[in-house]
Structure 1
Amino acid sequence: MADLRLVIFDVDGTLSDSLGEIVGAMEAAFGAEHMTVPDRDRIMGIIGLSLEEAMPQLAQEAPASTHARLVAGYKAAYQKQRLAAGPDHSPLFPGMRALVERLAAEPETLLAVATGKSRRGLEALLDTHGLRPFFQSIQVADDHPSKPHPSMVMTALAETGVDASRAVVIGDTTYDLEMARAAGVASIGVAWGYHPADQLAQADVVVDTPDDLARAIDALTTGDKT
């Protein structure tokens, strides 16, 4: 399998624009606890972490029991929003469907997801957009430590049999890039996501468009990293 390559996508902020749903679910969860809702910038800052890691950051003074209720409240609110939105749930960023379809059609390219979402939430999103068949490896928060721990990437490599030198992580947050580095794989930061582009400097490259992303994937998985 030496000639195979693996492209590992983050989801929220990379493939799909889920910010509205995330903020709405946070508002509902904190409101139910009669707590001040974190501002938008603070919420954007924790996107990419698992909820169990995110809530203690957003509610640092609250006890663990409150964090657990916030997680449960968030999940319930997010699911309610998803069901209400139907096919409009978490729209894909322009150009990302075409890129995924193009990559999936290449016999040498395998696709994976590494996300802080739950399996139920991810599968619902992929099914909404008809993307599930394109991914050979699905890594979610239910089964791994939170990003930036490298477990998701290492498992995706093991499942697909692809060498780390032929893999790349694509994400919009520092957590994605730190995860990639910890796993010993290349990384691409996307500037359209939820962490400012100037925070993505540790990526091998930061891109502004899906066309730029396609070229960067080719460069970083063929040994031409100039």
Structure 2
Amino acid sequence: MVIFDFDQTLVDTSSVEKFRSTKNWGAVMAQASSLPVYGGITELLAELDGAGHTLAIVTKSPDMVPRAFIRAHNWPIKIVVGHHQVRVKKPNPEGLLLAMSKANVTPNTTYHVGDHSQDTEASRRAGVVALGSAWGCSDISDLVKSKPDRLFHTVDELGAFLKSAAVSIS
């Protein structure tokens, strides 16, 4: 299983950060169709799905935002855990554990891709492999300090790694 963070990992949401920080989700949704997906993401998701891998999104945002992208881009993601589905947000591992439970997988077959030190911490606490996504970060120092198991600067690097690790992901 591969679990992705949403903001700054799959989609560049930096232009709506002011709305996200004030929980103005209506304003976020009003601009959602203009938010850019990082190059290669849609193709990577299709390749992973085509190879039979379970894909999920776990985000601190409401699930309506990533669900809109799943519909608009026909992403093969069936499991989405947003902040309304958990009692405690990342870095608590509750969202990751819930996604794994829905997929009926174990931590030793799960990768978590995220752009923030809280993603790395949640991965550690859930017992999954922490993969850092630096392509959406303006400052990667906190992500580097969190010491993810692997750090990727491009979507292509992540894709190559996940394809090479395909034997162990489900």
Please indicate, yes or no, whether the TM-score normalized by the shorter chain is above 0.5: yes
- Aligned CA RMSD, in angstroms, stands at 1.9
Task: Please give the alpha-carbon distance, in whole angstroms, between the structure 1 residues aligned to 2:97 and 2:166.
Answer: 17
For structure 2, the residue ranges without an aligned partner over 5 or more in a row are: none
For structure 1, the residue ranges without an aligned partner over 5 or more in a row are: 1-5, 27-54, 56-69
Task: Please give the alpha-carbon distance, in whole angstroms, between the structure 1 residues aligned to 2:129 and 2:167.
Answer: 11
1:79 maps onto 2:21 in alignment = no
Contact 1:188 / 1:216 at 8 angstroms: preserved in 2?
A: no
1:128 maps onto 2:72 in alignment = yes
- Alignment correspondent of 1:59: none
Residues 109-155 of structure 1, C-alpha deviations (whole Å, 9 max, x = no match): 11011011212222123222222xx1132111111121111011111
- Work out which of the two has the higher radius of gyration on C-alpha atoms and give 1 or 2: 1
Q: Which runs of 4+ in 1 moved over 3 A?
A: 218-223
Choose from 4, 8, 13 the match for 2:3.
8
Q: Are residues 136 and 77 of structure 1, via their aligned partners in 2, closer, same or farther at CA, if it must alter by over 3 Å?
A: closer
Contact 1:190 / 1:197 at 8 angstroms: preserved in 2?
A: no
Does the residue aligned with 1:200 lie in a helix, a strand or coil?
helix
* Identical-pair percentage: 25
Does the residue aligned with 2:119 lie in a helix, a strand or coil?
helix
Task: Please give the alpha-carbon distance, in whole angstroms, between the structure 2 residues aligned to 1:115 and 1:172.
Answer: 11
Q: Are residues 81 and 75 of structure 1, via their aligned partners in 2, closer, same or farther at CA, if it must alter by over 3 Å?
A: same
Displacement, 1:81? 2.9
Displacement, 1:199? 2.0
Displacement, 1:8? 0.3
> Equivalences for 1:1-226 in 2 at 5 Å?
6-23=1-18, 25=19, 70-71=22-23, 74-82=24-32, 86=33, 89-107=34-52, 109-131=53-75, 134-144=76-86, 145-194=88-137, 196-201=139-144, 202-218=147-163, 222=167
Residues 51-105 of structure 1, C-alpha deviations (whole Å, 9 max, x = no match): xxxx6xxxxxxxxxxxxxx43xx123223333xxx4xx22110111111110010
**In the comparison of the two structures, how many residue pairs are matched?**
165
Contact 2:100 / 2:106 at 8 angstroms: preserved in 1?
A: yes
| TM-score normalised to structure 2 length | 0.87
Task: Please give the alpha-carbon distance, in whole angstroms, between the structure 1 residues aligned to 2:154 and 2:137.
Answer: 15
Task: Please give the alpha-carbon distance, in whole angstroms, between the structure 2 residues aligned to 1:125 and 1:105.
Answer: 19
Task: Please give the alpha-carbon distance, in whole angstroms, between the structure 2 residues aligned to 1:176 and 1:92.
Answer: 19
Displacement, 1:197? 2.4
Contact 1:205 / 1:216 at 8 angstroms: preserved in 2?
A: no
